[in-house]
Structure 1
């Protein structure tokens, strides 16, 4: 874009890159009613909100909020109870399950302390799992295990509804004990379950192999780094991780120790796809001036978006250097900071010297530039 450097009479391309009714026995809606807002405006209470109030003990304000969930929006009138049935069917339940199984399960859960909004979300996230044997005892186990209240439990079940189906003594406890042996506390395990995929469904031996391999890579179980590494690679198998080690060694000439070092600094390096790595390595070596082996000491560079971080930031830095405005720079330093901070340090101070710099950089992020 020749206009980009019009003031310096230099042109370049900034962002080029190759690169029915019986089933509703458990639903007991209130008579149609209304509530008043502070401004005394009368609003009709949605049918599903009435159900939440009457059957599950919600406060009106909370019932109205929950009723806006996209899964509930279609349930607009008691004149159309089939919409409620459809909701339960959408969660994986059959007509017979809704009629004969879900109702007693719901009653059992309510008696066990799982009521109100918590019960609604349990049905929302894992209704099929609630039909399994002894869901209450398993829910009580997980509630105690998480130990941070119902919101934390719901967050885990939202991502891992199947937890309610696992036999605690035969399946869950052995895995927890194994993870404890490798330094992960129950709180750490709960964090993995809340933020990542379900490590409890891994076979015990594959899970052990991954833990052992993390140690082989040079991170001891006593180290705080071990927990972070496990969170990143727990969904992988030992064979896949070893295959990625071989990939870096054969494709880019890294030594085994360099791969291990890169993993210790940035565990996600062994979870990136080969295609992803190849694109970024190609850019960093052909445009960024890096040697393949030197990237092993800065592996986090491979974790940044090529189009939204590496290319635009490198280009800005290169231009500033070419114009003598920035004699020395570190691409890694420029990448680790936020997008706003990058603009504050590398774009705004040089707008007068490089015409169009702010507009071109903003365009890469789809940002509207104020005039």
Structure 2
């Protein structure tokens, strides 16, 4: 068995392998195979974490595998988890893996949610628990953020909680200074977006909005309404602004009130605006808020603004799908 893997391992990487321990290596490989690892997965694991070949099966690998299976990583999930973070096999079961899992379980209040958060980001099992994860969580608790919001953050966006403690303190302070209360649901959303960007990228986004004529007050007013809009790329911010101001002729105050416009694909906004133009020509728009029409759900839009008016404008669906132009002659 070992002979079959030996050449593959040496080709992938220069490994410190002692042929005198070939029997030990075979035992490890056999153990991995018995737990669903395919040969290609074993080769990949050993190339990334060579020390696995030197682990004792009975006292090291077996207890770790049993624990991972107990918390929900069984069958094909087990190899996938370990390959996503081979460091798992290099960490202590009792001083790292178990404490990390039970810490997560205490926060999210169920085995299933703790497992889900690890599946989303396997580094939660091996990250610095005492130095980062727990201090960051304690900070959010002290700030008054609801436990359910912290739990959701860990399950859905675990990398946010993995920031260095001094950076987390800085971001929390910044979000509070914008006037977003920690007890509001918007606080965690703002925290996620700000933590996802370096300071330099954050400044670039702010400068893009300023170049479009927005003041800092306007930028952050929109951020308080929908933090995700500043998570858009610089190009996306410029392109959507161009559409809003030059095509849809929306005023800045309206766009500030609907920052979700920046999160919408232009391929969604443009055909909707074409429909809007046609409905305006036919005087079929009454008391309609254009931004709401542009960012609403697809089904609602088609039913309320396309299907509803097919009797008056038979080719409206084709216009929406881009099959015909919106020239006046085509709709009158």
Give the TM-score taking structure 1 as reference length.
0.69
Q: Distance in 2 between matches of 1:137 and 1:119?
A: 22
Helix, strand or coil for the counterpart of 1:183?
coil
Q: Distance in 2 between matches of 1:280 and 1:102?
A: 58
Give the match for residue 159 of structure 2: 198
Shift of 1:110: 4.9
Q: Establish whether residue 316 from structure 1 lines up as the match of residue 271 from structure 2.
A: no
CA contact (8 A) 2:171 2:195 kept: yes
Shift of 1:213: 1.0
Indicate which of 99, 117, 122 corresponds to 2:53.
Answer: 99
Structure 2 CA distance for partners of 1:358 and 1:334, relative to 1, 3 Å? same
The structure carrying a bigger helix percent of its residues is 2
CA contact (8 A) 1:129 1:161 kept: no
Q: Establish whether residue 140 from structure 1 lines up as the match of residue 101 from structure 2.
A: no
Give the match for residue 81 of structure 2: 125
CA contact (8 A) 2:81 2:119 kept: yes
Moved more, 132-141 or 87-96: 87-96
Indicate which of 249, 266, 288 corresponds to 1:306.
Answer: 266
Give the match for residue 270 of structure 1: 230
CA contact (8 A) 2:73 2:81 kept: no
Shift of 1:93: 5.0
Helix, strand or coil for the counterpart of 2:180?
coil
| 1:346-361 alignment, distance < 5 Å | 346-361=305-320
Q: Distance in 2 between matches of 1:125 and 1:239?
A: 33
Give the match for residue 46 of structure 1: none
Shift of 1:258: 1.7
Higher RCO (CA < 8 A, seq sep 6+):
1
Q: Distance in 1 between matches of 2:71 and 2:250?
A: 58
Q: Distance in 1 between matches of 2:119 and 2:125?
A: 11
User: Where does the alignment leave 5 or more consecutive residues of structure 1 unmatched?
Assistant: 1-19, 30-50, 53-71, 73-83, 365-371
Q: Distance in 2 between matches of 1:105 and 1:27?
A: 13
Structure 2 CA distance for partners of 1:267 and 1:98, relative to 1, 3 Å? same
Give the TM-score taking structure 2 as reference length.
0.76
User: Where does the alignment leave 5 or more consecutive residues of structure 2 unmatched?
Assistant: 3-25, 324-332
Instruction: Map Cα deviations across residues 281-317 of structure 1 (whole Å, 9 max, x no partner).
Output: 111111111133542222221111111x211111101
